[in-house]
Amino acid sequence: MVSVGKVEEYILRRIGDEGAIHMALIDPEKVTPELAALLSQESEASGSSAIMVGGTTLASTELLNDIVKAIKRSVKIPVILFPNNVTGISEYADAIWFMSLLNSADPYFIFGAQALAAPLIKKMGLEAIPLGYIIVGEGGSAGVIGKACPIPYNKPELAVAHALAAQFLGMRFVYLEAGSGASKPVPAEMIRMTRETVDVKIIVGGGIKTREQAERAAKAGADIVVTGTILESGQREGVRAKLNEIIEGIRKGAKSRSRGF
Ligand code: 1GP
């Protein structure tokens, strides 16, 4: 019998309590362990529910371990790995998004890396949370590295089809990914149509930089909004203000959704 792990239970509880939640994404190649710790503390203090750690071009597990350990020492919220490949696994994390890039043209990113990684994840005792990863729009570096056929923004029905297929395959989360630093985030209509069709939790990320964008994503039905690039400004006060803005937007979006307007 497959059971839902502690981290997933915690995520579901927070979504249930708050309507929609925020996760901060830290790219181990862009920070020192000290900066990762500081950014995580700011995220936790602002109301983020978890710290995701991963980067499209990450090749050093040693570097990843140092960053994860530094974050774990600094915050109580869970650290969830967001792997780009088999090198993106750290025994020091709490859980891993066990993800398949559903619209990749390369079977390695759909099931190859996962088969290589699974025994190691089991051995480490890492909680694996099944996730269908769907690249849309520009797709960014993740689209290039993952050899994705990104779903155009004006074809929301294709995003819905992928998300529904993920649900039918037993995945409990789907991620609509516009790519880190995308010039336009995932359109509200694409999120809304996905929400209306699937029952699994929806994660949205890529290019979200303002309160309004975060609010729109949550209002359209995102359960989890992920931001990475806004953490990269480097200045503590600036990061804090941005995080507060994004999280306020998510809360407002979730509230207006439940009131039905
Ligand atoms: C990338 O969706 C995440 O995988 C976050 O994107 O860096 O644009 O916030 P940003």
**DSSP reduced 3-state for 160:** helix
Identify the DSSP state of 112. I
Give the C-alpha distances (Å, rounded to integers) separating 53 from 57, 70, 194.
Answer: 12, 12, 26
Mean pLDDT of 120-143: 97
**Per-residue model confidence as pLDDT tens digits over 144-168:** 999 999 999 999 999 999 999 999 9
Nearby residues of 60 by Cβ (< 8 Å), 6 or more positions away: 28, 87
- At the fourth CATH level, the homologous superfamily of domain 6-259 is FMN-linked oxidoreductases (3.20.20.390)
Q: How far is the CA of 254 from the centre of ligand 1 (A)?
A: 20
CA 1 / ligand 1 centre spacing (Å): 34
| Total-model pTM | 0.97
For the stretch 91-110, pLDDT in tens is: 999 999 999 999 999 999 99
Q: Ligand 1 pocket by C-beta < 6 Å: which residues?
A: 25, 142, 177, 180-182, 205-208, 226-229
- Beta-bridge partner residues of 133: 101, 175
Cα dist from 76 to 73, 93, 94, whole Å: 8, 12, 11
Check if the beta carbon of residue 198 is closer than 8 Å to that of residue 160: yes
What residue ranges do the domains of the chain occupy? Answer: 6-259
The closest-lying atom of ligand 1 relative to the alpha carbon of residue 209 is 9
Cα 258 to Cα 20, 92, 163, distances in angstroms: 11, 37, 22
